[in-house]
Chain A
Amino acid sequence: MNAKSYPLPTSVVTSLLFIASALLCWIFADLSIVTRTPWQEFFRMAAGVFSPQWLPWPELLSALAKTLAFGLLAVALSALVGFLLCLYFHKRGVKLFCASIRAVHELFWGLLFIQLLGLHPAAGLLAIAIPYSGIFAKVFAEIIEESETESASSLPPASDKVSQFFYEKWPRIKAHFASYTLYRLECGLRSSTVLGFIGLPTLGFHLESGFMQGNYGLVTAMLIMLYVLIASIRVWARFRLMPLYAGVAAFYLWAPLNIDSTLVLSLVHDMSPLPLRNTQTEWWPWFSNLSSTQIFPGALNTLLITQIALVLTGVFSLISFPLLSKQFFPRPTRSLSHLLMVMLRSTPEIILAFVFLLLWGPSMLPAVLALAIHNGAITSHLLARHSNELELRLDASRGINRYLYEVLPRIYGQFLAFLCYRWEVIMRETAIVGILGIHTLGFYIDSAFESFRLDVAVLLIAVSALMNICVDEVARRTRRRLHLVKQPLVRAC
């Protein structure tokens, strides 16, 4: 990795463009701070942190087992589907299909499937597995693409496609597939927890109950369980054991499902736009009213929050990654920082956002910071791993000089690549803070579900998917302009 492969001007220009767009958004965004008397609530939070309140064993174990079961089964399923899809990823239709299913946040898939399947476990499973299949397909396709450029075929020219795949490609990409699948497990466990917020009987279910009632002891206990679960993945997760784990999870979650066809029909009816069902409603007034009251403001707020949070994510990770890097700190400090980062990236954003909301009052600031810290902790972890691979000279400078002149220039291109990948993710996650009352598209989608206007919900979900696809495309072009297409893959949720 030498400096030549990333021409400095392009990366600087890109950074400046990011910063300029964030500053522009800053002007329009409401980031005011109102501080009054949050200390009583903080005192209760602190008291809760120091006295975790554990559920009785059967309930705790069941929540833990279900978090694991939903995460494992969904990841296994989507790895399988993603694998099949990635074989056809060169087809435009498949690519577009994958982009649109992964552009919808799992919370929205969850809300949709709850309407369709009620409280059946399949609702939670599909909510995670559908977007994850789209992500797996994309990443697997990238892995294959990279492996292709590495060597020419060593098989006889007449060998068929199946043999070509399994004798030539598979041995080379297997390890990458396996490691990505295991990496995705962390995301799966987090998603299965977050879906507890809308009713899946996982750790998130009790986490939300505790949080909503101000029972911070319960919140602490559930968060500790989640941290332990995520930190222990590398102990028990093995690619070969995945089918077994998934099988046991399937047995554990299995429940008979009766789909009532009249119900499905009435839901399809509800999801079709109002003017189609009701002849008294005209298309244009309906759509223009929705655009001016929900689509446009929602899309604007989503964009404002995304752009500011993206730049703050970058700032956070640039500041914090040395704490995790062996180029800067000895092992004890790194281990401690590692623990802190696991906590920051595993704590659901909505809880971070609520703490900031108490502290600074209602504006976009809590949402922006919650997103920046969560995503920054992930990027920081990835950057540190990347910096650990650098080989510095024995007499290389130390401290701030090492940071500025040795490490930063060497990893900056990779840093921008990571940010480009986070872009799409951050936009998808604005959905979650929308539920706090910050009027993103997620806020309006949640409102539409709450008032049973499924047609509006579906339309808004489509709009947010479209925005995600656009951002994904811009990010891809930016990476290409930075010559970052052939960089090592980003392993992150």
Chain B
Amino acid sequence: MFKFARTLGCIAFGLLFTRLCLAGTFVFTAIPDEDETRLKARFDQVATYLSKTLAVDVRYVPVKSYAAAVAAFRSDQVQLAWFGGLSGVQARRLVPNSQAIAQGEEDQSFKTYFIAHSSTGLKASPTLPKKIADLSFTFGSKGSTSGRLMPEFYLRKQFARSPEVLFKQVGFSGNHSRTLALVQAGAYQVGALNYKVWDNELKAGRIDSSKVSVIWETPTYPDYQWSIRGDVDAIWGEGFTAKVTEALLNMKDPALLAAFPRSAFVPASNSDYKPILNTARTIGIID
């Protein structure tokens, strides 16, 4: 029995020791938006790359929701995060001096696709068709820029009504892939999703174009970005923010970029996301 207790003690000490060593670790996370399968394996590669380039310990922690990513950023459990447009704005409002430092090449002009089930008879058109009123409609996740914020903004702009009034039913599928699955099944008649997810699913052959098609695409807007806390320079040394930015901009390995998935990272700043903040204010997501 005594031996057993000692063994347990050793294990406990071992665990304690490894945890303490991690205390100086630079931690990042990413919102769960793209392909989540093997997410950890793919982002661990990114952590290894950043570790080498920055010469500090870097670790990735997975999260399940936009809100959890923002909460972790706020409570300093992560210092760097790959946010969506809206979650980035929300996070930076909560953490003083935090900055957007880099965005994907594609994020400078991101867009949302409105899709419809074939039974609606809706076809691709240059404006949102009037006939979508009184159908059933699904957004993606509640905190998503491309799956919620921008589609809601354009719906309100064109119809001057809130989605709850405009449609017979309004759902939140949870993410872009679910939106596609539900509209393709006809469970919801119309939906809105991230254009990259649509393109990827189309390439993978998971879209049956006799059942679901794109009926409208939004004008472009800025979306995903890397945001970093304002106090990292004080902890990891002067110029650390600049070092992290450089490491992200120099990430050229396609295997690493595939984790996001983006073709390259380009510089970004807080002011790039002014339009997102204004839109969120307009539709009342941010007070």
Contact = CB atoms under 8 A, between A and B. Distances in A.
Interface in B120-163: 136, 138, 141-143
Nearest 8 interchain pairs by C-beta: A36-B186, A437-B171, A199-B64, A118-B77, A209-B36, A38-B185, A118-B75, A450-B142
B19 A256 contact: yes
Given A36-B185, A254-B15, A255-B19, 8 more contacts: A59-B40, A212-B174, A215-B37, A260-B76, A274-B287, A435-B174, A437-B171, A447-B142
A362 B136 CA distance: 8
Contact of B208 (A35, A40, A115): A40
Interface string A68-97: 000000000000000000000000000000
Contacts of B255: none
A449 B185 contact: no
Residue with the greatest number of chain B CB neighbours at <10 A, chosen from A248, A360, A446, A449? A449
B194 interface: no
Contacts of B169: 362-363
Contacts of B185: 36-38, 40-41, 358
Given A214-B177, A214-B181, A34 B187 contact: yes
25 contacts: A36-B117, A36-B119, A36-B186, A38-B186, A41-B185, A59-B40, A114-B67, A114-B71, A117-B75, A119-B68, A119-B77, A198-B64, A198-B68, A199-B65, A213-B36, A213-B177, A248-B8, A251-B8, A251-B12, A256-B19, A360-B187, A361-B136, A362-B188, A437-B173, A450-B143
A451 interface: yes
A318 interface: no
Contacts of A34: 136, 186-187
Contact of B68 (A37, A114, A209): A114
A40 B209 CA distance: 12
A54 interface: no
Of A209, A255, A446, the most chain B CB neighbours within 10 A belong to A209
A295 to B, nearest CB: 16
A452 interface: yes
B67 A452 contact: yes
B171 A436 contact: yes
Interface in A110-137: 111, 114-115, 117-120
B94 interface: yes
Contacts of A98: none
A48 interface: no
B251 interface: no
Interface residues of A, number: 56
Interface residues of B, number: 60
Interface in B180-195: 181-182, 184-188
B187 A36 contact: yes
A427 interface: no
Nearest to B75: A118
Contacts of B75: 117-118, 260, 263
Contacts of A198: 64-65, 68
Contacts, number: 146
Contacts of B39: 209
Contacts of B77: 118-120
B142 A451 contact: yes
A293 to B, nearest CB: 9
Interface string B32-63: 10011101100000000000000000000111
Interface of A: 34-38, 40-41, 59, 111, 114-115, 117-120, 196-199, 201, 205, 208-210, 212-215, 218, 247-248, 251-252, 254-256, 260, 263, 274, 357-363, 435-437, 446-447, 449-453
B66 interface: yes
Contact of A208 (B64, B70, B143): B64
A119 B73 CA distance: 10
B8 A256 contact: no
Contacts of B62: 199, 201, 205
Nearest to A254: B15
A114 B67 CA distance: 9
B83 to A, nearest CB: 13
A111 B142 CA distance: 15
Given A115-B71, A199-B65, A263-B74, A361 B15 contact: no
Given A215-B37, A361-B186, A199 B68 contact: yes
B175 interface: yes
B214 to A, nearest CB: 17
Contacts of A435: 172, 174
A449 B187 contact: no
Nearest to B90: A452
Nearest to A256: B19
A254 B164 CA distance: 45
B20 A256 contact: yes
A212 B20 contact: no
Nearest to B118: A37
A263 B74 CA distance: 8
Contacts of A436: 171-172, 174
